[in-house]
Amino acid sequence: MAMNTNSSSTGGGAWTSFDAVKSFPPTPEELMEDIDSAISALEYARANALLSPSTSRTAATATHDARLTEEAYRSACAELSAGRPDAALRSLRLALSSCPPDKKTALSKLRALLSLASQQQQIQIQQKRG
């Protein structure tokens, strides 16, 4: 006697973790973007909750500001061009914290630039040491 584990086809049987999943993104990159976006939104909400515990969750998520993100991004690019990765890192952190979580491409670019600025900062530190 074979046991059917597909609960959706028989109306009963064993439950699986995929029963509630409707679809997956078509590529691993898109799946990672969705995961990164969700993590960013969660981190942002938690940080805001710690900074101002009396505010509601909707007020915390309403502080995403695309204009501020763009200004911080431009400032970071200028700082990197001027050879000041430490200042660029501050601007990039501000840009990441104010970027709306649904802007996956922008978040990816900001993270890539943050990585580049961190590498440049490490190079500067190593050059100063020796």
Judge whether residue 2 has pLDDT over 70: no
Mean predicted confidence (pLDDT) in 97-112: 90
> How confident is the model at residue 39, as a pLDDT?
76
Higher pLDDT, 113 or 58: 113
Residue 81 has pLDDT above 80, yes or no: yes
Average pLDDT, the chain: 76
In sign, the C-alpha dihedral spanning 125, 114, 74, 51 is negative
Give the domain ranges of the chain.
62-130
Report pLDDT digits (tens) over 19-33: 555 666 778 887 787
- pLDDT one-digit tens code per residue, 7-22: 444 455 676 655 555 6
